[in-house]
Structure 1
Amino acid sequence: MGKLTDMQIKAWIKAKQHFEGQGDGDGLWLRYRENDKVPVWRFRYKFAGKSRVMQIGSYAEVSLSEARRTAEKLRARVALGYDVAAEKQERKAEALAKIEAENASIRVIDLANEYYERMILGRVKHPDIVRRRIDKDIGPHLGKLKVEDVKPRHVDDMLQAIVKRGAPTIANDVLRYTRRMFDYAIKRHQIEFNPASAFDVNDAGGKEESRDRVLSREELTQLFAAMKLAKGFSIENDLTIRLLLLLCVRKMELCAAPWKEFDLEEAVWHLPKERTKTGLDIDIPLPPLAISWLKQLKELAPHSSWILPARKMQHRMVPHIHEGTVGTALGKVKPHMPMVSPFTVHDLRRTARTHLAELGVDPVVAERCLNHRIKGVEGIYNRYDYFNERKDALNKWAFLLDALDKGEAYNVTPITKGQKKRA
């Protein structure tokens, strides 16, 4: 039989005329079995005295002319002593092994989520802080990389991108969490080298200096006015800022607070030691102004277990608002305070402490309002909680804040110790 032609092959296909083999010569054959949708090209040859067959491809994928060129190359290789069918099987096995290895590889985002679930949740006071850094920084920069493919340059690129957006403190946090995450991967035998190990704060956001920013009375009045003007600044954000100022608590002590800690009838917030930075539990007296603000939050989310429940599409693992929510919201207020120097949420506690001093509050009482440990020998032996004194102090602070909100208190005279004694 002579050489095959395209017309002949197409006629067999149209007539569904099946066969085991039609030869084209020089080892090229066409097979068209009952279960073949289209004919299949095969190359037959002998190697070490044994008949061998290698499939080239279907007629739909490989034309007659292409099949002839492929067969010619294979014949030349066989003549050089190569078993082309065995080589194809080896290439196929290598490709499958590569695919399996690729599928089995752990991506950084998978490592980050595992690290978060196993080492952060239930172990740290504010897991949402780590969650946010994974979602906002580690995931977008490194998440798609295989864990073993991450190099120091990838870590450096991530840190520099964070610094360039004006967030050096966050860069330091991200470096810390990234280093710990890869240390965890080493313990899990996923990698042998931590690509973040060589970096320190000088490679990220630099050494963090203590802040000294305090909002004056006039600036607080402007803040209250600006919060009412800012677009997209919700009632929840407004009340959160006010409560942080009045109660002198840390941001996440309030943002992660469940309603079960509050007794509004007795006007007390029972803040447990598990949720405080100092590891000290404290009963925080709630001035009437704070009670009214808390009741507003309750009305806004009557069925939530949290005073500030998670909003919209925030991460399902964190039921309350993220640690960055308040800071982001505050950014909407600052354009309405063009003459006020920059400040952050972290400056509110320092502001409260400073104004308590201006109001003549005893330093020990003021420090306990912030749930700071009393230093020295007195801190060791003095276990008095100063609840009533703190209640009086916060009521004075609430009176001042309310007056500032109404624009009436730029010149409220601070209560000095001498005035307090005469009273």
Structure 2
Amino acid sequence: MATKKFSDPWLRGLKAAEGGKWDEWLDEGETGLLVQVNAKRRVRFCLIGRFPRDDGTPGHPGRRVLGDYRPLDTKDRVFVVKKGVLTLTLDEARQKAREWKAALAAGVDPSKPVEENEPDAAPPVTESSATIGEVFAEYHKRHVMKEGQKDGRGKALAPLRSASEIKRVFDHYVLEDLDGNVRWRDRQIESITRKEVTGLLDTISDSSGATQADAVLAQISALFNWHAAREDDFLSPIVRGMKRSKPSERKRKRVLSDDEIRIFWQAAGSQETFGTYCQCLLLMAQRREKIRVMHRDHLSDDGIWTVETEDREKGNVARIRLSVQAMRIIRRQPTTPTRPFIFQGRLAGPINGFTKDKAALDAKMAEIAGHPIPHWVLHDLRRTAKTLMTRAGVLPHISERVLGHAIEGVEGVYDQHDYFAEKSDALKKLGALVDNILNSTGKVVAIKRGRKAPSALNGDGLKRAS
């Protein structure tokens, strides 16, 4: 069955169905609202739902007629309506659909006459629906963390790789806000309306941008759909068309210019752990989560970093020797057996919660520059590092492996060389070029690739003895 966002111009333009059939569409703007048109061009609204049986138990999904369509402005078109059937505008049909769905949720069949529903009788006793917090706890346990679940071979399922991000979204935007104030945690899940979801997305979009609002929408939609699959009467309030941005608009091409790199480096140097963490994002070109959880046990004294691979992870740099510039920063970070992360947070774990720190970094950069810096995000440092490596003469297939991207196609299948020496050399060139940029105020000349092949290094990244 096709879906369409109903509008008066579209409804007025519906053509007659062929033969004795009814053509029908579902409304994207109101869950369960159906419009049908027959061969006589009669247009009617219906509601799809679980209408209760005579004994009060929920029935199978079915449909009931709400009324025939007749807009306020007919545009001189004659609308066929059935005698004795209520006529409705589009807005009236949507409102009636909402009222009927509320009645169905209360165990009342709104399609029957009032006396058949026995209004004087005591309403059926129903248990209160679960709260958002309770549903999320079960969702996190069963769907996200896969606790106690096994695959077809009896092997325990690994948690979703996005488990930490899912929890962050709900903790900071849905259950509570960024300041720790309760938002939806104690709300019954069936009480959440589409208008409230839209209001939440508006708030997030205004404060954190459209992309973050879409990320929250995706997680809320996943939770509601998971709950709907486990409950008979729950209908998700989320419909198509609620996203705030388009995929094409989310593709970023932002890289920092040489002047911006110098300003960024100076501003980051004035901050504490977060500033040095950002500097390493540029020098190491790795995903920010990999650097955030960097552990002292995974880094050797001579700078060889072994990156842990997670379940179902497609690409990973695996093992690489960090540049002199990166190691200079890392060695300044205090670590202890009880605080083992290179970029240690205030508590036992690594740093987290970058929103306020990033805002402070942006403000410092604007102060140094004397004007606001065009918007950039932390991931842009990784793109900048890739661009700088190309500028420094690193071949694309090497820089892709430095980034930890999965190599697709035949090359990814047949070329199993670890590229340790080549990747280490690429980071060395990246660090040298960053130094060149920081120590220059004029035009920066790209570092040319030397004639000596990377094979001058052995498998551990050390020079071979002569």
1:252 aligns with 2:289: yes
Task: Tell me if the contact between 2:263 and 2:365 (Cα under 8 Å) persists in the aligned partners.
Answer: no
Which of these residues, 219, 222, 244, is aligned with residue 204 of structure 1?
244
Secondary structure, counterpart of 2:291 in structure 1 = helix
Superposed, 1:5-404 pairs within 5 Å as 101=127, 105-121=129-145, 123-140=159-176, 141-189=183-231, 192-196=234-238, 198-200=239-241, 202-207=242-247, 208-229=249-270, 233=271, 235-260=272-297, 262-274=298-310, 278-280=314-316, 282-299=318-335, 303-311=338-346, 319-322=349-352, 324-325=354-355, 327-328=358-359, 330-336=361-367, 337=369, 338=371, 340-404=373-437
| Cα distance in 2, alignment partners of residues 361 and 181 from structure 1 | 44
Separation in 2, partners of 1:191, 1:324: 40
In the aligned structure 2, how far is the partner of 1:124 from the partner of 1:269? 25
Question: What is the one-letter code of the residue matched to 1:304?
Answer: R
Please report how far the alpha carbon of residue 349 of structure 1 lies from its aligned counterpart in structure 2 after TM superposition: 0.8
Q: What amino acid does structure 2 have at the position aligned with 1:381?
A: Y
* Alpha-carbon distance in structure 1 between the residues aligned to 2:304 and 2:314: 20
TM-score scaled by structure 2?
0.59
- Kindly state the Cα deviation for residue 323 of structure 1 after the two structures are TM-superposed: 6.0
Deviation at 1:409, TM superposition (A): 6.5
Aligned to 2:319, the other structure's residue is in SS state: strand
CA distance, structure 2, for counterparts of residue 415 and residue 189 of structure 1 = 62
- By relative contact order (CA 8 Å, sep 6+), the higher-ranking structure is 1
Instruction: Find the aligned partners of 1:151 and 1:247 in 2 and give their Cα distance.
Output: 45
Distance in 1 separating the partners of 2:206 and 2:132: 23
Q: CA deviation at 1:276?
A: 8.4
For 2:327, give the aligned amino acid: I
Q: Gapped runs of 5+ residues in structure 2?
A: 1-121, 146-157, 177-182, 455-466
For residues 24-78 of structure 1, the C-alpha deviation after alignment (integer angstroms, 9 at most, x for no partner) is xxxxxxxxxxxxxxxxxxxxxxxxxxxxxxxxxxxxxxxxxxxxxxxxxxxxxxx
Q: Return the letter of the residue paired with 2:251.
A: S
Rounded to whole Å, the distance in 2 between the matches of 1:131 and 1:324 is 16
Separation in 1 of the partners of 2:257 and 2:313?
A: 26
Residues 256, 320 of structure 1: 8 Å contact kept: yes
- Amino acid in the other structure paired with 2:446: P
Shift in alpha-carbon separation, 1:288–1:167, aligned structure 2, 3 A: same
Shift of 1:143: 2.5
Secondary structure at the aligned position of 1:265 is classed as coil
Mapped contact 1:186–1:192 kept (Cα < 8 A): yes
Pair 1:413-2:413 in alignment: no
- Aligned partners of 1:363 and 1:409: how far apart in 2? 28
Give, in angstroms, the shift of residue 281 of structure 1: 5.7
Q: 1:386 to 1:205 in 2, by over 3 A?
A: same
| Contact preservation (8 Å) 2:362, 2:373 | no
Kept in 1, the 8 Å contact 2:204–2:212? The answer is: yes
Please give the alpha-carbon distance, in whole angstroms, between the structure 2 residues aligned to 1:365 and 1:389.
Answer: 7
Q: Contact 1:237–1:329 (CA<8 Å) still a contact in 2?
A: no
Encode CA deviations 1:372-394: one digit per residue, 9 max, x unaligned.
Answer: 23344333321222211111121
**Counterpart of 1:225 in structure 2: which amino acid?**
Q
Flag the 1:334–1:218 CA change in 2: closer, same or farther, 3 A: closer
Residues 251-283 of structure 1: per-residue CA shift (max 9 Å, x gap): 1111133333x2322422211331785344611
Give the partner amino acid of 1:333: K
Task: Name structure 1 gaps, 5 residues minimum.
Answer: 1-93
Q: Secondary structure at the match of 2:331?
A: helix
CA RMSD, aligned part only? 3.1
Q: Is the 8 A contact 1:251 1:323 kept in 2?
A: no
1:364 Cα deviation (Å)? 1.2
In 1, Cα distance between equivalents of 2:365 and 2:343: 22
* Normalised TM-score (structure 1): 0.65
How far did 1:368 drift?
1.1
Which structure has the greater CA radius of gyration?
1
How far 1:329 sits from its partner (Å)? 5.1
Residues 243 and 290, structure 1, Cα contact 8 Å, conserved in 2 = yes
Say if 1:170 and 1:205, in contact at 8 Å, map to a contact too. no
Shift of 1:310: 4.0
CA apart distance, 1:215? 0.9
Q: What is the one-letter code of the residue matched to 1:306?
A: F
| Larger helix fraction of residues | 1
Contact 1:274 / 1:281 at 8 angstroms: preserved in 2?
no
8 Å contact kept, 1:126–1:252: no
Shift of 1:168: 0.8
**Letter in structure 2 aligned against 1:413:** V
Q: Distance in 2 between matches of 1:377 and 1:422?
A: 24
